[in-house]
Structure 1
Amino acid sequence: MKFISNNSFFAKLQVEQSKPFVIAGPCSAESEEQVMETAQALQQQGIKLFRAGIWKPRTRPGSFEGVGEKGLAWLKRVKQELGLMVTTEVATGKHVEEALKYNIDVLWIGARTTVNPFAVQEIADALKGVQVPVMIKNPINPDLALWIGAIERIYTTGITDLAAIHRGFSSYGESKYRNTPLWQIPIELKARFQNMPLIIDPSHIGGKRELIFPITQKALDLGYDGMIIESHPRPDFALSDAAQQVTPAALKDILDRLQVRKPKYDDAELVNRAEELRLQIDAADHHIIEALAKRMALVELIGEYKKLNNVQVLQLERWKEIFRTRANWAEEAGVSPAFIEELYKLIHVESIRKQTAVMKDE
């Protein structure tokens, strides 16, 4: 799939704002006055694309679910009077039709919609024959294939001006994040579709306004192309997601503090030094793989021993000992114990697979 060219909407936005671009506005359009007040403040900061939710898919009934179609007229006024481009979320084919009727410049598909292929296909059907930029958020669950599938469904309509929004993933248990970033998933998406813009949504990842800056900075350090941030003139009184919205003034402070890294080394000496370090990393990786191969060969031997003595594959006490001791060894070596725990979970899965195969081999 070939997504964007130099003449695409997102490419132009990068040029106009000096990459990375910024999309900002309230979580929800609550009133015409609130929309215009926010848009005027953001326009003065040089924001080009104004966001506001018109239809709000909420987790539980009784929550504020958006003002509906009348909010589209407010966005149209933002376009006409302030010259800003506007974007809103669509979750059904009817939403698409209504948004296009009001000349909304960009559409986005939310996480609760991306998770449902039937809903995405309905939107894709409504977009056939239309040329409008579309941004697609990751699904609420950490499923890269589902995210790619949503992108492909929109792409098959003929729309190539696409962008992906990383808004984090739902998880069970306590976390400092509202939605866990799981950075490896959007990084893998970017590796597969290098020409497709990747946008960070720190408001939904963090769930708290104080986390917007560090999350955004990390995204920029990873080479993200843009950001979408919720901004409200009086965040504490917002009708939805109050804790994660910032005032336009606070947004300006965040943007002023962000550092944009160079995409590549621009000095020959730095290039040479980086290449030396990469060669050393390659050598270290070679040693790691050799060590893993040796370990797996030993795993197969102990699998043969278990089979010979009619002993089950999973030895829970042994696994608990490995899980505990390797984390301790990691800490002593200055390596993150949490990283080693995750690594050994994978190693353990492969060890179980190999021993199970030994047991089945008659």
Structure 2
Amino acid sequence: MNQSALKNWGFPVGRTFVAAGPCSAETEEQVLETARALVNKDIGFMRAGIWKPRTRPGSFEGVGLKGLAWMDRARTETGLKIGTEVAEPSHVEACLEYGMDVLWVGARTTTNPFSVQAIADALRGVDIPVLVKNPMSADIGLWVGGIERLANAGVTKLGAIHRGVSSSLEMRYRNAPVWTMPIELMRLMPEIPLICDPSHICGKSELVAAIAQEAMDLLFDGLMVEVHPDPSSAWSDASQQLTPVEFLSMMNSLEMPYEQSDSTVFQNKMTGLRNDVDEVDSRILEFLGRRMDIVRDMGRLKSEQHVSTLQPRRWQEILDDRIKKGQGLDLSESFVQQLMQSIHEEAIRHQETDRIEGAG
């Protein structure tokens, strides 16, 4: 965990790091009311959207520059640090003029390397914390690339925000959590503080607490939560914002797990279980190796008889059968499907490689 980095950046860190505030700055009164409700609550910084990239024109797209003045006044009155999202160099310039304490790059912007590079160039030589949200698609390369572009511009205080990814499927959440994505970022960039945005993952206020707890269980360094004095009247994303009372109640109820335990009994049991997992994983890999040996024999037979490598009907039969068997083993359909697709792709690769080498 990298909460120490957040502390070194000058942010207050209580039980965990947290940024909180409305989706959008709407009026000066709303911004100040929110700030007053959050002061002395161990808030790392107060967040509010000044410019709001919307899918379709005609939606509320933020109040613009005057919102920065409201945020500045809130900071002066309460002592809270303040931050907002930037999407282009002019946003960066305006935020630096008002002395914003932290900036973040939004999911729509992270998707476009040209836009990230323009922001990075605008920040060259500036010592300010910058957070990068994951792109709207599950593309870890774009996320890492966005962070790297800022680092190459000399930005040293870098963090990441996970807000889930868009999906065309009907689901419980506004954006699919896809926890594998931030977990992979932790592996690739262990020095980068990682914050979860449960508000954008959920899209519904009643789901936020559960996702926030899940993020804590996965050792995220903090949270970014949307908090509004009166969510029902919010000008954007009303359904996902918490009231200050709901927010504070959620934070008090969160359990903060430790990465390790000093208990000898725990460590001994965990070591035994980890050894069991290692043994099972080794057997799985051995079985997969044997499967590929069989697949290569099948490929040679297909090649001799001029039969196509891909067998769509057989593949559908395999997929249906394995999903059904997986359900009996308490394995989710999506997991079994992803697993079998990976195995199938590797099998196709082996058969095609043998076919090409045979032809050569």
Q: What TM-score do you get using the length of structure 1 for normalisation?
A: 0.95
Identify the residue that residue 203 of structure 1 maps to in structure 2: 199
Identify the residue that residue 344 of structure 2 maps to in structure 1: 348
Identify the residue that residue 28 of structure 2 maps to in structure 1: 32
TM-superposed deviation, 1:48: 3.7
Correspondence for 1:83 among 73, 79, 93: 79
Q: Secondary structure at the match of 1:262?
A: coil
Shifted more, 310-319 versus 327-336: the winner is 327-336
2:104 & 2:31 partners in 1: Cα distance? 18
TM-superposed deviation, 1:335: 3.0
1:169 & 1:334 partners in 2: Cα distance? 25
What CA deviation, in whole Å up to 9, does each residue of 1:230-271 have, x standing for no partner?
A: 011111111111111111111112112211101212112211
The residue identity in structure 1 corresponding to 2:114 is F
Which blocks of at least 5 consecutive residues in structure 2 are unaligned? none
Q: Report if the CA contact (8 A) 2:323-2:336 is conserved.
A: yes
Identify the residue that residue 109 of structure 1 maps to in structure 2: 105
Q: Report if the CA contact (8 A) 1:231-1:245 is conserved.
A: yes
Residue 89 of structure 2 is aligned to residue 123 of structure 1: no
Shifted more, 286-295 versus 340-349: the winner is 340-349
Q: Secondary structure at the match of 1:136?
A: strand
Q: Report if the CA contact (8 A) 2:6-2:193 is conserved.
A: no
2:27 & 2:295 partners in 1: Cα distance? 65
Correspondence for 1:139 among 127, 135, 138: 135
Q: Secondary structure at the match of 2:325?
A: helix
The residue identity in structure 1 corresponding to 2:308 is Q
1:283 & 1:266 partners in 2: Cα distance? 25
Identify the residue that residue 323 of structure 2 maps to in structure 1: 327
Correspondence for 1:307 among 294, 303, 309: 303
Identify the residue that residue 171 of structure 2 maps to in structure 1: 175
TM-superposed deviation, 1:79: 1.0
Q: Report if the CA contact (8 A) 1:20-1:224 is conserved.
A: no
Q: CA RMSD in A?
A: 1.6
1:354 & 1:305 partners in 2: Cα distance? 13
Q: Report if the CA contact (8 A) 1:10-1:197 is conserved.
A: no
Identify the residue that residue 264 of structure 1 maps to in structure 2: 260
Q: Secondary structure at the match of 2:235?
A: coil
Identify the residue that residue 215 of structure 1 maps to in structure 2: 211
Q: Report if the CA contact (8 A) 2:21-2:47 is conserved.
A: yes
1:264 & 1:18 partners in 2: Cα distance? 20
1:343 & 1:240 partners in 2: Cα distance? 39
Q: Report if the CA contact (8 A) 2:6-2:13 is conserved.
A: no
TM-superposed deviation, 1:58: 0.7
Q: Secondary structure at the match of 1:229?
A: strand
Distance 1:10 1:137, change over 3 A: farther
Residue 73 of structure 2 is aligned to residue 53 of structure 1: no
Shifted more, 313-322 versus 53-62: the winner is 313-322
TM-superposed deviation, 1:9: 4.2
What CA deviation, in whole Å up to 9, does each residue of 1:290-349 have, x standing for no partner?
A: 000000100010111111111111112211111111112222233333321210011111
TM-superposed deviation, 1:5: 9.8
Q: Percent identity?
A: 48
What CA deviation, in whole Å up to 9, does each residue of 1:133-191 have, x standing for no partner?
A: 00110111111111111101111122211110001111222121211111111111111
Identify the residue that residue 190 of structure 1 maps to in structure 2: 186
Q: Secondary structure at the match of 1:135?
A: strand
Q: Report if the CA contact (8 A) 2:34-2:229 is conserved.
A: yes
Q: Report if the CA contact (8 A) 1:108-1:135 is conserved.
A: yes
Q: Secondary structure at the match of 1:61?
A: coil
Q: Map 1:226-265 to 2 at 5 A.
A: 226-265=222-261
Which blocks of at least 5 consecutive residues in structure 1 are unaligned? none
* Number of corresponding residues: 357
Shifted more, 165-174 versus 31-40: the winner is 165-174
Q: Report if the CA contact (8 A) 1:19-1:226 is conserved.
A: no
Q: Secondary structure at the match of 1:249?
A: helix
2:7 & 2:187 partners in 1: Cα distance? 18
TM-superposed deviation, 1:358: 2.7
